[in-house]
Structure 1
Amino acid sequence: MSLMSRLFTRRTPEKRLEHGLKLIEEEDFTGGFAEISAAAQTGMPEAQFRVGRLYLDGIGIPRDLVEGGRWLRRAAQAGWTEAQFVLATLYLLGLPDAVESDTFELSDVAQNITGTPNYPRAAHWAKLGAGGGSPDAQALYGYVLSAGPEDIRNPDEALVWYRKAAEANCAQGHLGLGLAGLHSAQSDEELAQAVHHLKIAADGNVGSALYLMGIAYERGAGISQDVVAATASYGKAAEHNVRSAQARYGLALIEGRGIERNISRGETWLRKAALAGDFEAAALLGDIYARGGDLAPNYLEAANWYRAAAEGGHAAAARALGLLFVTGAGVTRNEEEAAKWFRLATQNGDSASSADLGNLLLVGGGTSEDRLATRSLYEQAAQSGDLIAAFNFGVCLAEGVGAERDEEQAAIWMRKAAEGIVNAQYWYGRMLIEGRGVPVDPQEGREWMRKAALEGMADAEHSYGQLLVKGEGGPVDHAEAAEMFERSAVQGNVGSMFAMGAMLGGGHDLPEDREKALFWFRKAADQGHPAAQLMMGRYLTRGLGGEPDIEEGCRWYRKAEAQGLSQATIELAQTLRPSAPVSPEAAAPASQGVAETAHPAIG
């Protein structure tokens, strides 16, 4: 057709729309937009809708959310149901108010989705689209009625619209029925019916339904448990950018749960979820990099992820970040920062952090404001009946953290906490034995110490063992003392390692076993226990636990000597001059020092 023919040939809006859509398919976006826009100017609803979409997508014209919304509104006002549905969806995302006006303002340019849902406007347009027979609009209207503010919410009517959409094979309608069913299910049959609807929605490739099916398969809720199917569902949902699914899929890949193990891919998915705002995923990444293993430890990376999770309110991540600041791993050592994160973790419900914070403040960490705020926090929680807080408040009073030292009040709170807190049983036992805030009562103190020891607290096991050796607060019982020392030593208590060596070395109501004694002395000596280093020197130079080894024995004497143990100096000199007479101190039995080993300090 010639140029003159095109100029004088009058085309209907329908023809222009048809031609414009064809040009878009042929990737002539500018020409296609011009044709469709011309049709829209005549008031044709479908063309108005198409122009609106072109503006929203930036096809043939720079992207313009406000202008796109205005064209959608015109089409929706003319009764175009698809425009009504899209407009309602956009209002749930947060369309700017400028969409409601046809007057152009310079400020309209480059406006974006606000992120604040406008439920009344979304309800208005979704209801019109639903009434016009659009299954998608029916499902969306059901959602607005079930999730909107109180003045709009109507769960019963929402179910009506969900059913209409589901009857039209709308996957979102089935999703709505499934979610409603999950909340209201009172029996296995009702739960199975809810999951049935979710599966239909998942088969329709709805991301949130795929995620929920992953949970259902994983837990065996309303359907047979199937770990492989669960992981597959999480993977599909992850591809739909469902961040919780990305986190679960990443974890499944790392653990090899329902899928071949792949650390690198798993870390990638966790990272995606974390960057999208999933704080649990960020915390998991922190754990992975802090723990090391398949991936090399990277404390700087761990600290960054812990911080991201902690700032989002993740209590365990805040505590982990605090611990990094205490040790200086991946961050500059900073006790004030550590106290800040411990306090945040405590406020978010992590009880272990309150103990970490208390311990940090006890050794002078944090600021005076930290100490005052922490004491106040503990006092308020203790007054409300929180036993952990009662223990921590007792520690603050006993050590003068954030207030004047008050051992009598400390003992009162410690006694309350001892009803359920192992650490408080240990502390209260020590206070009774030493007469701190209460009259000296070794019998009752020993009983509280025994309770804490039987709960497996290493320090309590060690202290109770000492009481049994000395017969303080009750009869001597070397056999039970050895049992307590061994339990404590296995948990890493160095004093108990030394005590085990001394108990087995002779001089107690136990069979002598110097080979085992040497084993325990070595364990304690390796961790810097000076008396154990002395005993290593003694055992090795004299061959008390096997063949003599003068050279190694002298090395241990020198280590003990370097820690200020004068007895090591004496015995080292005598070992190097074998013809000299042996002093009574040098001939001391292997058991020397058990009964005299100091109790761990309360503070």
Structure 2
Amino acid sequence: MAERASLGALSVLVLLVASTASLRAAPKAPALTAPAAPASSKPERLDLTRELPSPYSAKADAGRPAVDGPNADAAYGAYQRGRYVTAFREATKRIEANPKDAAAMTLLGELYNQGLGVKQDPKRALEWYRLAAAQNDAHAMASLGLMAMDGRGQPKDEKAGRSWLEQAARKGEPTASYNLGLMQLATGKPEDLTAAVANFRKGAEAEIPAAQYALGVLYLQGKGVARDTTQAAQWFRRAADNGDLGAEVEFAIRLFNGDGVPKDEARAARYFLHAAQRGNAIAQNRIAKLYVAGRGVPKNLVEAAGWNLAAAAQGRSDESLDQATAGLKPEERKRAEALAAERASLSQ
């Protein structure tokens, strides 16, 4: 429960929380002053809304290559454990034994594309992906689509990129469906919006977190689907639990406000804190505000100052938090600065 004195110390108690997957910088939020609460009222409601346009702009890579067959443990198993030199060697052996081994070709393409176990070489990656795609490997097709769109190892060609993504999506490759949805969404055409929703859903149901987040945003905005905050919250939760930082913040918003999900300030604070610990500046700013107000977490101005300083170090300054923590004693300020220095490493 927040003390009125704590609330009065903040010139901005309205938590304007952004979706954080966007690559764009957040514009500065307008200063909003919380109205004074009657002495007998409940704690003042912190209205959480986003500062940024909801992002569905970040492409998802084609994911880990599927290496199947009797020798899968030797090739893909090594890849999964980070033993990339071994993965390269074992995939090469597989191709020597079977020149049409598409999964092993795709794995070699991935290793060259990412520079794992071998020197990074997009052109060699393209060669292996193309050989695998000729064997109808959907993962290779998806990777070829992204490389064409980015102009990686070849001149940029969005038309060719879309063609590869469409082929991969038809074969059920979920990241291809998601990335194709991004292209459809960008056209602004109603029919493409409908198709984008369908493609995002395919990716979301395959547990692609970026697709789950995008679908949650569409439900929240009522864009391409009927507005449904319950559906939005469910997709944000799934994306958050799959590691999407923007979704962690969005789901925390829903929890804090009881929007599409039962209100739970303590659980919301845990999501904000987890995202803050992963180095997200907006989450650091928001958990600092909760520590000042004592909402979802015990009031703790040292913790608040530590998170505020960590966020400010990433360019997320907040005058209201500066004012709220200005009265710290010198030893408290020193502890807060030490916490901020610790947390700065989270953002590297």
Q: Same fold (TM over 0.5)?
A: yes
Q: What amino acid is aligned across from residue 130 of structure 1 in structure 2?
A: I
Decide whether aligned partners of structure 1 residues 85 and 144 sit closer, same or farther in structure 2, where only a CA change above 3 A counts: farther
Aligned with residue 326 of structure 2, among 359, 362, 377: 362
Are the aligned partners of 2:123 and 2:154 in contact in 1 as well (CA < 8 Å)? no
Q: Which residue pairs with 1:493 in the alignment?
A: none
Query: How far apart in 2 are the matches of 1:89 and 1:375?
Result: 40
Query: How far apart in 1 are the matches of 2:148 and 2:168?
Result: 14
1:413-447 deviation per Cα after TM superposition (whole angstroms, max 9, x unaligned) = xxxxxxxxxxxxxxxxxxxxxxxxxxxxxxxxxxx
Q: Which residue pairs with 1:197 in the alignment?
A: 164
Q: Secondary structure at the match of 1:362?
A: coil
Decide whether aligned partners of structure 1 residues 85 and 197 sit closer, same or farther in structure 2, where only a CA change above 3 A counts: farther
Equivalent residues in 2 for 1:199-348, closer than 5 Å:
199-220=166-187, 226-293=192-259, 295=261, 297-348=263-314
Q: What amino acid is aligned across from residue 89 of structure 1 in structure 2?
A: Y
Are the aligned partners of 1:217 and 1:224 in contact in 2 as well (CA < 8 Å)? no
Q: Which residue pairs with 2:130 in the alignment?
A: 163
Q: Secondary structure at the match of 1:215?
A: helix
Are the aligned partners of 1:88 and 1:126 in contact in 2 as well (CA < 8 Å)? yes
Q: What amino acid is aligned across from residue 80 of structure 2 in structure 1?
A: L
Query: How far apart in 2 are the matches of 1:336 and 1:375?
Result: 10
Deviation of the 1:146 alpha carbon: 0.9
Are the aligned partners of 2:302 and 2:333 in contact in 1 as well (CA < 8 Å)? no
Decide whether aligned partners of structure 1 residues 225 and 162 sit closer, same or farther in structure 2, where only a CA change above 3 A counts: farther
Q: What amino acid is aligned across from residue 89 of structure 2 in structure 1?
A: H
Deviation of the 1:130 alpha carbon: 3.2
Query: How far apart in 2 are the matches of 1:368 and 1:314?
Result: 22
Query: How far apart in 2 are the matches of 1:327 and 1:166?
Result: 56
TM-score between both structures, scaled by the size of structure 2: 0.69
Q: Which residue pairs with 2:16 in the alignment?
A: none
Aligned with residue 93 of structure 1, among 66, 72, 80: 80
TM-score between both structures, scaled by the size of structure 1: 0.41
Decide whether aligned partners of structure 1 residues 181 and 264 sit closer, same or farther in structure 2, where only a CA change above 3 A counts: same
Decide whether aligned partners of structure 1 residues 168 and 374 sit closer, same or farther in structure 2, where only a CA change above 3 A counts: closer
Are the aligned partners of 1:82 and 1:129 in contact in 2 as well (CA < 8 Å)? no
Decide whether aligned partners of structure 1 residues 348 and 332 sit closer, same or farther in structure 2, where only a CA change above 3 A counts: same
1:332-369 deviation per Cα after TM superposition (whole angstroms, max 9, x unaligned) = 211112112212222333133xx344223323378130
Residue 126 (str. 1) matches residue 91 (str. 2): yes
Are the aligned partners of 1:162 and 1:176 in contact in 2 as well (CA < 8 Å)? yes
Query: How far apart in 1 are the matches of 2:245 and 2:329?
Result: 28
Deviation of the 1:119 alpha carbon: 0.7
Q: What amino acid is aligned across from residue 165 of structure 1 in structure 2?
A: A
Equivalent residues in 2 for 1:534-573, closer than 5 Å:
none
Aligned with residue 145 of structure 2, among 178, 184, 190: 178
Are the aligned partners of 1:290 and 1:298 in contact in 2 as well (CA < 8 Å)? yes
Deviation of the 1:331 alpha carbon: 2.0
Decide whether aligned partners of structure 1 residues 342 and 256 sit closer, same or farther in structure 2, where only a CA change above 3 A counts: same
| Greater fraction helix | 1
Are the aligned partners of 1:130 and 1:137 in contact in 2 as well (CA < 8 Å)? yes
Deviation of the 1:121 alpha carbon: 0.9
Are the aligned partners of 1:216 and 1:225 in contact in 2 as well (CA < 8 Å)? no
Query: How far apart in 1 are the matches of 2:180 and 2:225?
Result: 17
Q: Secondary structure at the match of 1:219?
A: helix
Q: Which residue pairs with 2:45 in the alignment?
A: none
Deviation of the 1:178 alpha carbon: 1.1
Query: How far apart in 1 are the matches of 2:229 and 2:313?
Result: 34
Query: How far apart in 1 are the matches of 2:123 and 2:153?
Result: 17
Are the aligned partners of 1:343 and 1:357 in contact in 2 as well (CA < 8 Å)? no
Query: How far apart in 1 are the matches of 2:259 and 2:315?
Result: 29
Decide whether aligned partners of structure 1 residues 374 and 303 sit closer, same or farther in structure 2, where only a CA change above 3 A counts: closer
Deviation of the 1:278 alpha carbon: 1.4
Query: How far apart in 1 are the matches of 2:161 and 2:302?
Result: 51
Deviation of the 1:282 alpha carbon: 0.7
Larger Rg: 1
Deviation of the 1:269 alpha carbon: 1.9
1:240-269 deviation per Cα after TM superposition (whole angstroms, max 9, x unaligned) = 111221222222223222123332232122
Decide whether aligned partners of structure 1 residues 311 and 128 sit closer, same or farther in structure 2, where only a CA change above 3 A counts: same
Q: Which residue pairs with 1:572 in the alignment?
A: none
Are the aligned partners of 1:84 and 1:126 in contact in 2 as well (CA < 8 Å)? no
Are the aligned partners of 2:122 and 2:152 in contact in 1 as well (CA < 8 Å)? no
Query: How far apart in 2 are the matches of 1:203 and 1:239?
Result: 15
1:81-118 deviation per Cα after TM superposition (whole angstroms, max 9, x unaligned) = 93345532221111xxxxxxxxxxxxxxxxxxxxxx11
Unaligned runs of 5+ in 1: 1-80, 95-116, 377-603
Decide whether aligned partners of structure 1 residues 362 and 296 sit closer, same or farther in structure 2, where only a CA change above 3 A counts: same
Query: How far apart in 2 are the matches of 1:306 and 1:173?
Result: 37
Q: What amino acid is aligned across from residue 364 of structure 1 in structure 2?
A: L
Query: How far apart in 2 are the matches of 1:143 and 1:296?
Result: 43
Query: How far apart in 1 are the matches of 2:246 and 2:71?
Result: 37
Deviation of the 1:375 alpha carbon: 12
Query: How far apart in 1 are the matches of 2:340 and 2:218?
Result: 42
Decide whether aligned partners of structure 1 residues 219 and 238 sit closer, same or farther in structure 2, where only a CA change above 3 A counts: same
Q: CA RMSD in A?
A: 3.1
Unaligned runs of 5+ in 2: 1-67, 342-348
- Considering Cα pairs closer than 8 Å and 6+ residues apart, tell me whether 1 or 2 has the greater RCO: 2
Q: What amino acid is aligned across from residue 92 of structure 1 in structure 2?
A: Y
